[in-house]
Amino acid sequence: MNETLTLLLSGAAGVALGLFFFGGLWWTIRKSLTSGRPALWILASFLLRTGVTLSGFYFVSGDHWERLAACMAGFLAARFVVTRLCQRLESDAAQTLNSETKEGHATQSG
């Protein structure tokens, strides 16, 4: 029972690390598009996200490959969650922009 709980906690830590890493990547890309210094944002974000993530994997694993594997599984699961969420957010933003554009044309011509 104790080992199962440890693996579940390792997986949860992997999810948290994945949310941090991939959510940070999404935020960085969006921020760098409007920044005057996009290369600096991308480099600094890469170093921070990679450092935190690798440190997290190191501490979670505790020299046990099973914990490392559970953490990696959670990390990859978070990748799919963040990817889906970002796609949905971008789709909703595009639909909102399209509807505002159509309304703007309707009121200007009417």
Q: Does some domain include residue 30?
A: yes
* Distance between CA atoms of residues 71 and 17, nearest Å: 9
pLDDT, tens only, 4-33: 999 999 999 999 999 999 999 999 999 999
Closest residue by Cα to residue 3 from 87, 46, 53, 67: 67
Q: Does some domain include residue 71?
A: yes
pTM for the structure as a whole: 0.80
Structural domain range at position 21: 2-105
C-alpha Rg value of the chain to the nearest Å: 20
Total structural domains within the chain:
1
pLDDT, tens only, 47-102: 999 999 999 999 999 999 999 999 999 999 999 999 998 888 888 777 777 777 77
Closest residue by Cα to residue 44 from 27, 57, 56, 65: 27
Q: Does some domain include residue 110?
A: no
Q: Are 19 and 81 in contact (CB under 8 A)?
A: yes
Please, what is the Cα angle at 78 between 5 and 74, to 5 degrees?
A: 25
